[in-house]
Structure 1
């Protein structure tokens, strides 16, 4: 969900398909919308010259897109060794089962057991190794409870799914998503960016971010600002989520207000948990 127009470290306004880092290649699913921005980014990861690849978020159940991803891997002289899911929302995972069929039954790994196919699970701290490629699994709950990010240490890059977008900010998908967890996730990602020298965020939607630390700082400031606005609106008598959205999110496209209500509900839960409302 987008409720801000600017992020630091975003030099390219449009999403560009093709190589992004030495080990990542982006294809864009044809599902643009106010919620998905330009569409869902599907990522193909591989060590240069290797015969096997990892696919992250094959995208929605769109046959043409799934075939295009499978063909891109094949045309590069590779096969899909495994598919990884950042989380279970259908615009990221809806095509995973069909993609597995198209790629000879390749396994699908996810945190949520319901999304796994033919292989082991996936959890924070795991390292996925495929033909010389190393992908470190980072737990990033908050947007959803099953949200994961994937660190490519060789490229100083982080694939963030919907946790950090390439444009605007994301929703907290209440009741599964929780604001406290999301704030902890952002702080953890800020520490990761400093500790590892991240130079790129490869998001699930929108363009590449070339200032990861700046983008995460922006998210932290934005979330604090919205939380204060929600608290103020509640104290002023705006007690329901629709009332608070109309008051606080007046600068946001009204098409996004139903999604904004989810974030407001998550913020109200957080305020109640901390005795602030």
Structure 2
């Protein structure tokens, strides 16, 4: 976490956004969760996206970034949502998420395609299931010349995301990448890792990576048999994976096997 003598500090990410890095680094969260503060160029009220963990210093820094009018979350994982109810208490702002179980303070569930007008900003909700079934992204079309998209864990600033199977599904994820690519060259504001310059470019790279993994799994099944266990396929395809992310690799393999063993059979 970036701090000063007075505590966590805001860092710039785009014309209309800043973020505070949460103190939760790890194999899956990289340097930590980027909790974004959205507000118009002339200041005023703000929207917080992904409050992050239940860390009082972090949440008070977000609450102190200005008058928080609304809190949004990209998906259900605790490194994004655990602090949301407490931030609502600190600010009085409602929390909105796709999953009603993560709405607090009178917040209502998000709807795909919904335009949100808050703190003087236009925020468009995009349902992007795949990482989890409730994953959403937030498009800020007026944030810079190409706009920006807050991608949660659907697209990371470094590496590739895992699919939280069986809740997350590869077919859904590939469809979400197609949808995001259509936005074009918007700047990517991920929940973990650095800002990326082009949504269109990174979605294509993510899709290529998934197709390469599917090819590797097909080859492994040719060697091991069509009914090979998840662990055996993981050993074959992710032979160099660190033990700390082994479970994530197994879930991704399970998601890919489910995709390949779908209605059309192994492809």
Same fold (TM over 0.5): yes
Q: Give the aligned partner of residue 27 of structure 2.
A: 34
CA distance in 2, matches of 1:256, 1:17: 30
* Secondary structure at the counterpart of residue 150 of structure 1: strand
Establish whether residue 190 from structure 1 lines up as the match of residue 181 from structure 2: yes
**What do the CA deviations read for 1:49-97 (whole angstroms, capped 9, x no partner)?**
24211000000111121112112x1xxxx31111000000000011100
Q: Deviations over 1:201-254 (max 9, x none)?
A: 000100000122221111000000011111221221161111111110123323
Q: Is the 8 A contact 1:110 1:122 kept in 2?
A: yes
Q: Does the 8 A contact of 1:30 with 1:39 survive in 2? A: yes
Show CA shifts across 1:118-173 (max 9, x none). 12221111111113211111110000000000001011100000000000000010
**Do residues 176 (structure 1) and 171 (structure 2) align?**
no
Note if 1:234 corresponds to 2:237.
no
TM norm structure 2: 0.91
Matched, 1:275 2:265: yes
Distance 1:210 1:40 in 2: 19
- The structural deviation recorded for 1:270 is 0.5
Aligned to 1:135: 123
Query: What is the CA–CA distance in structure 2 between the aligned matches of 1:116 and 1:131, rounded to whole Å?
Result: 19
Aligned partners of 2:69 and 2:119 also within 8 Å: no
In structure 2, what is the Cα distance between the partners aligned to 1:270 and 1:233? 15
Deviation per residue, 1:153-206 (Å, 9 max, x gap)? 01110000000000000001001000000000001111122xxx41x1000100
Which of the pair has the greater relative contact order for Cα pairs under 8 Å at 6+ separation?
A: 1
Q: Aligned ranges for residues 116-135 of structure 1 at < 5 Å?
A: 116-117=103-104, 118-135=106-123
- Correspondence for 1:67: 60
Among 94, 97, 100, the residue aligned to 1:107: 94
CA distance in 1, matches of 2:206, 2:48: 27
Please report how far the alpha carbon of residue 17 of structure 1 lies from its aligned counterpart in structure 2 after TM superposition.
5.2
List structure 1 runs of 4+ shifted beyond 4 angstroms: none
Aligned 8 A contact 2:47 2:119 in 1: no
Instruction: Give 3-state SS (helix, strand or coil) of 1:172's partner.
Output: coil
Distance 2:151 2:196 in 1: 11
CA contact (8 A) 2:127 2:136 kept: yes
Q: Is the Cα contact below 8 Å between 1:50 and 1:131 reproduced in 2? A: no
- In the other structure, the counterpart of 1:89 is 77
Q: How big is the alpha-carbon RMSD for the aligned residues of Structure 1 and Structure 2?
A: 1.4
TM-score, with structure 1 as normaliser: 0.88
